[in-house]
Amino acid sequence: MTAESEARPGITVDAVRELLSDPKIFAELPPGLDDDAELALDSLGLVWFLHQLELRYGLEIEPAEAFLAEFTSIRRITDYLVDAHEA
């Protein structure tokens, strides 16, 4: 772990939920939505989400990467981002 990664805030389910709650990503993300409930990010929402990840966590993820098809729930997104954040 580098000093830079130690300085970044941790990625948690709550942090991902907060980012997804941005009206530019999901206009009305239900507050009680289960972490494993199916989500469908549209292309503009996905780009804005990835932009916010870069600003907040320093993660640069290209929207064309194949794994993005697996961004289907808050938990799956979080699991991927935790792995990417620690890399």
pLDDT higher than 60, residue 67: yes
Tokens of 43: 């292309």
Task: Give the residue ranges of DSSP H helices in the chain.
Answer: 3-7, 13-20, 43-57, 74-86
Check: CB of residue 79 under 8 Å from CB of residue 15: no
- Summarised one tens digit per residue, pLDDT across range 3-47 is 444 445 688 999 999 999 999 888 888 888 999 999 988 888 888
**Rounded Cα gap, residues 53 and 61, in angstroms:** 8
